[in-house]
Amino acid sequence: MTLRARLAAGMLAIAVVLVIPLVLALHSLEALHQSALALRNTEFAASLLLGRIRGRTENLRRAEDALLIVHDSASQLRMSTEIAALSAMADSLEQYALDSAAQQLDAAIGAVDVAAPKEYGAALSRRTTRADSLSANAMRPAIARLEHWTAAAEASLRERTGDRVAAAAEAAEQARQFSAAVLAFAALLSTGIAVWLTRSVSGPVEDLETGMEAVSEGEFGHRLAIAPHRHDEFGRLAASFATMARQLAELDKLKAEFVSVASHELKTPLNVLLGYLQLLEDGVYGELTDRQLEVCQTLEVQCHAIGRLVKQLLDVSRFEAGGGKLEPRPFALDQLLGELETSFHVLARQRDVAFVVTRDPRVPVEVVWDPDRISEVLGNLLSNAFKFTPRGGRVDLGVDADGDHVHMHVRDTGAGIPASQLPRIFDKFFQADNQVAAATEGTGLGLAIAKNIVEAHRGTITVDSTPGVGTAFVIILPTALPQRRPRVGTPPTDRRGIALARSSA
């Protein structure tokens, strides 16, 4: 599935998952709405009708009382009107399914309707005794039954309304709980889908970002976690990345081989030049004048300088190709420090720079390193420190112990290095802007070689510097390196070997 299809499917799934609880909630609301409509159209309407029947019954009673007292036709008309209204209302009660209460109300109204004309006639003809008798024996009992069955119907309706309201409330609560549960499940499922989508995109993106950063730093053997045979955009990117890294590795190898071959081929003509210069100085081809001898000596110095540069180029190319040799062996660390202190003591006096060597008592007496290579590293760092430290300054060489590692630092109070240039300080041929403060100009290869040697010893080298304050290099090495290590550029793992190549890129 392509990335676009995956994103579309994920978004559609999230939309569906979020719509489902909405549909269920709407269904529950519709059911609740129907229950409310049923209550309004039946129970509430019936309750209102029964209330009107009760009012009409009370009006009928008053009209009858007025008829018996006044004996007028207006009271008769009022009674007839109320009886007709009650009869119509009784007919309407049948649609509300009040069972026997509606039938009894209808029968009571029928009894009132039968007794009323007789009472009218007796009352209007002034037969008081007959009217009173009809009222007491027929009309009043019928009205009483009408009131009784109205009350019974109201009680039945209240009970039925309570049951319906309780059922509606229970259904609403169930719908609320169900909707909440479905919404929580939908939210959880949507979150899961979103996390899956995010990881399916961010994971490969981060892997590609890490890979590009590794390649930019020279780790051409870096492998992505993304399978290049994946049938999506990331698979194609992974395949392109692998091709790019392979081509860059080949170019880097060709570059290293070219530098190695070119440097090696330079040694022969340099040796020939030095040989002939020596013969000229020895007078083999005749005596030289002082001016000619001075020119020969200058040429010899420059040839030696070119020779040192060729040697450094060879060292760098060997490290990059994994062919630099280490010869680790046990030796006394204090003896190495003493030799460095003696060697640079004269330079310190010449430059008028204080030189202090400090040793932590916890430092092991014996370490297993390549002493010549480590001496080369420390000598290079000390030479740079003296080169950039003005008169009256200070250079420190310190050695501390930390478990099974040795910490060595070289600090000076020299010109310092700008912070923006520190990340490139170990690159080949890179020279910081502080060269104007140096007594002599360098080639930009010493620190690259030093970093390779330190990393070949499975250690680290870092730098911290402040312009105008000074620079500090810190080296951390394990106290013991396996004595059999055929190649400087062959670290314990492939990734380590890649890192070695990166450091000198």
pLDDT of residue 99: 66
Q: Residues 177-197: pLDDT tens digits?
A: 877 887 788 888 888 878 877
SS3 351: helix
* Confidence class for position 120, pLDDT limits 50, 70, 90: confident
Residues 436 and 359 grouped into a single domain? yes
User: How far apart (Å, rounded) are the C-alpha atoms in residues 479 and 405?
Assistant: 5
pLDDT of residue 322: 55
Highest mean pLDDT out of 7-16, 331-340, 442-451: 331-340
> Buried (b) or exposed (e) across 167-194, using 16+ Cβ within 10 A?
ebeeebeebeeebeebbeebeebbeebe
Residue 210 lies in a domain: no
* Confidence class for position 504, pLDDT limits 50, 70, 90: very low
pLDDT of residue 282: 84
pLDDT of residue 396: 94
Mean pLDDT of 84-100: 77
pLDDT of residue 74: 85
* Confidence class for position 53, pLDDT limits 50, 70, 90: confident
Residues 16 and 112 grouped into a single domain? yes
Residues 381 and 434 grouped into a single domain? yes
Residue 213 lies in a domain: no
pLDDT of residue 263: 64
Residues 244 and 349 grouped into a single domain? no
**Is the predicted pLDDT of residue 81 greater than 80, yes or no?**
yes
Domain boundary among 321, 344, 365: 321
Beta carbons of 379 and 403 less than 8 angstroms apart: no
Using the 8-state DSSP alphabet, how is residue 480 labeled? B
User: How far apart (Å, rounded) are the C-alpha atoms in residues 54 and 75?
Assistant: 19
Residue 221 lies in a domain: no
**Is the predicted pLDDT of residue 323 greater than 90, yes or no?**
no
Mean pLDDT of 85-100: 76
Mean pLDDT of 391-416: 92
Structure tokens at 408: 């060595």
Domain boundary among 321, 344, 361: 321
Highest mean pLDDT out of 7-11, 253-257, 286-290: 286-290
**Is the predicted pLDDT of residue 386 greater than 70, yes or no?**
yes
Structure tokens at 288: 């030289």
Percent of the chain with pLDDT over 70: 86
Residues 134 and 246 grouped into a single domain? no
* Confidence class for position 382, pLDDT limits 50, 70, 90: very high
Domain boundary among 272, 305, 321: 321
- What separation in angstroms does the CA of 251 have from each of 143, 216, 218, 479? 115, 14, 11, 36
**pTM reported for the whole predicted model:** 0.43
Residue 449 lies in a domain: yes
pLDDT of residue 393: 93
Least confident span in 256-265, 322-331, 340-349: 256-265
Residue 31 lies in a domain: yes
Residues 39 and 160 grouped into a single domain? yes
Q: Residues 485, 406, 503, 244: is their CA dihedral positive or negative?
A: positive
By the 10 Å C-beta count (0-12 exposed, 13-18 middle, 19+ buried), 111 is classed as: middle
* Confidence class for position 491, pLDDT limits 50, 70, 90: very low
Return the bridge partners of 470, or none.
466
Residues 160 and 252 grouped into a single domain? no
Residues 314 and 337 grouped into a single domain? no
pLDDT of residue 433: 64
Residue 167 lies in a domain: yes
Q: Residues 238-283: pLDDT tens digits?
A: 888 888 888 888 887 777 677 667 666 777 787 888 888 888 888 8
Q: How many domains does the chain have?
A: 3
**Who has greater pLDDT, 231 or 290?**
290
The residues, any chain, with a CB within 8 Å of residue 320's CB and separated by 6 or more, are 252, 256, 489, 501, 504, 505
* Confidence class for position 435, pLDDT limits 50, 70, 90: low
**Who has greater pLDDT, 9 or 141?**
141
Residue type, 86: L
Q: Among 76, 77, 140, which residue's Cα sits nearest to residue 112?
A: 140
Residues 183 and 303 grouped into a single domain? no
pLDDT of residue 486: 41
Residue 214 lies in a domain: no
Least confident span in 40-44, 192-196, 217-221, 496-500: 496-500
For residue 424, the domain's CATH number is 3.30.565.10
Residue 179: domain span: 3-193
Residues 312 and 168 grouped into a single domain? no
pLDDT of residue 353: 93
**Is the predicted pLDDT of residue 472 greater than 90, yes or no?**
yes
* Confidence class for position 49, pLDDT limits 50, 70, 90: confident
For residue 278, the domain's CATH number is 1.10.287.130
* Confidence class for position 495, pLDDT limits 50, 70, 90: very low
The residues, any chain, with a CB within 8 Å of residue 75's CB and separated by 6 or more, are 63, 64, 66, 67, 123
pLDDT of residue 490: 38
Residues 18 and 162 grouped into a single domain? yes
Residue 216 lies in a domain: no
**Who has greater pLDDT, 232 or 85?**
85
**Who has greater pLDDT, 446 or 478?**
478
Mean pLDDT of 75-83: 85
pLDDT of residue 101: 72
Mean pLDDT, the chain, whole residue set: 80
**Is the predicted pLDDT of residue 201 greater than 60, yes or no?**
yes
Highest mean pLDDT out of 5-14, 167-176, 252-261: 167-176
Residues 351 and 296 grouped into a single domain? no
Mean pLDDT of 345-367: 91
Percent of the chain with pLDDT over 90: 14
